[in-house]
Amino acid sequence: MAAEPPGSTRDDSLVDDARGGLPGSFETLVRRYHAAVYRQILVWVNGDHAAADDVAQEAWWRVAKGVKRFEGRSGFYAWACRIAHNEAKRWLGRNARKPRLVPEPDEEHPAERSATGEAVRLALSKLPEKFATPLMLELWEDMSLKDIAHALGLPEGTVKSRLFRAREKFRAVWDEMESEP
Amino acid sequence: MNDRIADLIRNAKPQAPSPDALLAALGSRAVPPATGSAVWLLRAAALFVLAAGIGAASALLPRMSADTPATGDLERVRGLAARIESLESQTGSVSAEQVVEQEARIAALETRVQARTAIEQAVGEYFVKRDAAERELWQERHLEHVRRHYAKDMEGTLAELKAQNLPEAKLVRAREILAQHGKDIEVLIKQSYAQGGDHRRGHRDLREQFASLARGAQDSLARVTGENNWGTLLGESPEDWAPTAEFEDLSDFDSMMNWMRRSSRG
């Protein structure tokens, strides 16, 4: 996914249009970022697709309600992601006492059938959000450094540094998980 | 990055559903969710009281304007009174009753002007106090968030250093540096809130101040630990220390947006 496909309307223009109530503008933002937001939510809710659907819906609903007050200075994607992360934390808080269900193998989600895939997502969920998000954008959404910086509203140098730290932290978590019996 | 690790993460990419179902669901939620929870009921009650208050205030202000003559009218009456005095002194043809009547009218007008000034002053003071209390609340919640998260980050960093077998004396020094950095961040945030009322204007220097603090702490840590690459672990931008936005109530959202606005380049 590219944050700014060539010739497409920029995020800030779409946000302005959405704030003004222009039909279709918010829908374009949702279509542009839903997959990336959803994948991150899925990591945060331990791979539970039903929960990810609920959390995504609630998060986008809150984004829709708040967009009129969003001034576009922190990056729309970063803002939406942050709301989604908070919503996921709320979901985890509400479901903390429920036993975690191991998902059945699902033909619709072949990647989820792999034990390694699940372990990788578990490791990602253990990273702080500010490190996990750019890593997932780089490797899952194929976004360039420039696109990630734009989407998160951060300088490119900061993103580069966070990616470096994220890789180090992921490696440490992964090694620890591998060494566990 | 190690290619094996990168491939591992790439291969774990989960599928995402089409946004069509989500958009349909959002479309069906055209109004905020109806809920019987106490929080929603309290919010509704608070909004009702607020709306009633605003309505009463806005109804009062036009009436004050209509009943109270403008300053120009007052000057005109004063001019007339002066003219009466002048004519009386010149011709003696103006009655004492007319003078008394004009003086009484002037006194009544002056009383109204004073009353209006007092009300405007009281309303102004109310808003100043309300804004100050709001800022204080935002600051308190913000600092609480920063303390909580900073303590967690600091202990994590120290645990990493300990795992690298850093000598105890150096660990103590690293803790001092990190603790001081946390205190400096709090001071910076307090200064930002204390700077005042117009949080719609961005705070130009804040970003540079956060970055400078992080650089200073990182340099000190590098000297103690011998490790130069601290990256952004210490959080060099205002966004890294933004208040939480848990949306337990709408003031969470306000405090986060307020900080994002004030910490942006303006």
Report the pLDDT value the prediction gives residue A5, as an integer from 0 to 100.
Answer: 45
pLDDT at A168 over 70: yes
Is the pLDDT at B63 greater than 90? The verdict is no
B246 vs A: CB within 8 A? yes
Residue B48 has pLDDT above 70, yes or no: no
The residue ranking higher by pLDDT, A86 or B257, is A86
CA distance A18 to A65: 11
Residues of chain B with Cβ-Cβ distance to A74 below 8 Å are: 239, 260, 264
- How many angstroms separate the CA atoms of B158 and B150, rounded? 12
A12-21, A153-162, B43-52: which has the minimum mean pLDDT? B43-52
Burial class for A179, CB neighbours closer than 10 Å (0-12, 13-18, 19+): exposed
Residue A52's pLDDT band, with cuts at 50, 70 and 90, is: very high
Whether the predicted pLDDT of A57 surpasses 70: yes
pLDDT tens track for A14-47: 888 887 778 788 889 999 899 999 998 998 888 8
Q: Which among B201, B210, B247 is the top mutation candidate for probing chain A, defined by the most A β-carbons within 10 Å of its own β-carbon?
A: B247
Residue A37 confidence (pLDDT): 92
Per-residue confidence band for B227, with pLDDT thresholds at 50, 70 and 90:
low
| Among the partner residues B1, B10, B244, nearest to A167 by beta-carbon distance | B1
Residue B241's closest chain A neighbor by CA?
A: A130
Q: Alpha carbon of B8 to those of A121, B232, B260: distances in Å? A: 10, 25, 35
Banded pLDDT at B183 (limits 50, 70, 90): very high
Looking at the predicted structure, is the pLDDT value of residue B245 above 80?
no
The predicted pLDDT at position B40 comes to: 40
Whole-number pLDDT of residue B71: 59
pLDDT at site A35: 92
**pTM recorded for the entire structure:** 0.46
Taking residues B114-130, report their average pLDDT: 83
Q: Are A140 and B233 a contacting pair at CB < 8 A?
A: no
Give the CA count within 13 Å in the CB-facing half-sphere of A44.
30
- What average pLDDT does chain B have? 72
pLDDT at A173 over 80: yes
B26 and A64: CB-CB below 8 Å? yes
What pLDDT does residue A108 have?
A: 52
**pLDDT surpassing 90 at residue B180:** yes
* 8 A C-beta contact, residue B210 and residue B236: yes
Residue B186 and residue B147 in contact, taking contact as beta carbons nearer than 8 Å: yes
Whether A79 shows a pLDDT value over 90: the answer reads no
* Pair A84, A61: CB distance under 8 Å: no
Show which of residues 95-154 on chain A sit within 8 Å of chain B, judged by CB atoms. 108-112, 114, 116-118, 120-121, 124, 130, 135-136, 139-140, 153-154
Does any CB of chain B come closer than 8 Å to the CB of residue A60? yes
Q: Which residue has the higher pLDDT, B26 or A139?
A: A139
Percent of chain B with pLDDT over 70: 64
Asked if B14's CB is within 8 angstroms of A165's CB, the reply is no
Nearest Cβ partner of B14 from A42, A62, A170? A42
Q: What is the pLDDT of residue B250?
A: 55
Q: Minimal Cα distance from B2: which residue of A?
A: A167
Q: What angle do CA B250, B254, B255 make, to 5 degrees?
A: 115
Question: With 70 as the cut, is the pLDDT of residue B259 above it?
Answer: yes
Contacts of A117 in chain B (CB under 8 A): 11-12, 14
* CB proximity B11 to A under 8 Å: yes
Task: Compute CA distances B225 → A28, B155, B233, whole Å.
Answer: 49, 16, 15
Q: Residues A53-63: what's their mean pLDDT?
A: 90
Query: What is the rounded average pLDDT for all residues in chain A?
Result: 78
Check residue A34 and give its pLDDT. Answer: 92
Interface residue of A120, A121, A133, A162 to substitute, partner B, most B CBs within 10 Å: A120
- In this predicted structure, what is the pLDDT of residue B230? 56
Gap between the Cα atoms of B55 and B12, Å rounded:
57
Query: Considering chain A, what percentage of its residues have pLDDT values greater than 70?
Result: 82
CA distances (Å), origin B59, targets A113, B53, B109: 65, 10, 22
pLDDT at A140 over 70: yes
pLDDT over threshold 70, residue A9: no
Residues of chain A with Cβ-Cβ distance to B19 below 8 Å are 30-31, 34-35
How many whole angstroms separate alpha carbon A131 and alpha carbon A166?
5
Is residue A174's pLDDT more than 60?
Answer: yes
pLDDT given for residue B172 in this prediction:
93
Q: What is the pLDDT of residue A71?
A: 65
pLDDT at B132: 80
| Burial class for B2, CB neighbours closer than 10 Å (0-12, 13-18, 19+) | exposed
Q: Which two tokens stand for residue A42?
A: 């899925």
